Amino acid sequence: YVEEPGRVSSTCLVTAARNHYSVPCELAGKLISKRFYPERIEIVFDEVVMASHPRLFERGQTRYDWRHYLPLVERKPGVLRNGAPFAEMPEPLVRLQRLLLRREGGDRVMSQMLAVVPKAGLDTVLVAVELVLESGVVSVEHVLNVIARLNQAPLPESVPTTLQVKEAPVADTGRYDRLRTQEADHA
């Protein structure tokens, strides 16, 4: 690869070979290193690859990764309405965004939804969003519930046993009332 230094712009973009590539927003204003490979470009900060994009060969193009802007969305959810990086989100998230932005405070709800992606993983979130969209009841709580069910550990296998119940338990809530009526000597 060919390596050259660079600086991240305030819009979280790196200019390389007359094109722009997004990087995580925490790198805004920092010095980075650009590694040019034949088919991709990597952005390196402190010897760690922070972003990797397929190379653009025509001039004046921009390649975004919407996940680079998630911390910014948490602070400024209004960026979802016209932000260019978010036009490239996966289709289920775009459909969810369209539904949520019609509501009052929908951009905040969508930002909460996107904040789940780094924790739960994109594939899990996409499956959960699709299931929620199919159900017709759209809310962040519903998506979080579906994600929790998807990540739930499987139930343990039942163990064969020879134990049998001799007396079936009887539900008698009156027992608790009898406990309350007796005076107890606590001293």
Q: What is the pLDDT of residue 6?
A: 92
Its domain, for residue 39, covers: 2-63
The answer to whether residues 98 and 127 belong to one domain is yes
Q: What is the pLDDT of residue 130?
A: 92
Domain assignment present for 185: no
Domain assignment present for 9: yes
Q: What is the pLDDT of residue 154?
A: 84
Domain assignment present for 162: no
Number of domains in the chain: 2
Last-in-domain residue among 29, 63, 97: 63
Domain assignment present for 48: yes
Q: What is the pLDDT of residue 186?
A: 58
The answer to whether residues 71 and 139 belong to one domain is yes
The answer to whether residues 59 and 105 belong to one domain is no
Domain assignment present for 166: no
Q: What is the pLDDT of residue 54?
A: 94
Domain assignment present for 91: yes
Domain assignment present for 157: no
The answer to whether residues 103 and 122 belong to one domain is yes
pTM over 0.85: no
Last-in-domain residue among 42, 63, 84: 63
The answer to whether residues 77 and 143 belong to one domain is yes
Average pLDDT of each block of 10 consecutive residues along the chain (187 residues)? 91 92 92 93 93 92 91 86 85 89 85 88 90 85 88 84 87 82 60
Domain assignment present for 33: yes
The phi, psi pair for 176, rounded to 5°, reads -70, -35
Q: In what order do the strands lie in the sheet with 19-22?
A: 13-16, 19-22, 62-63
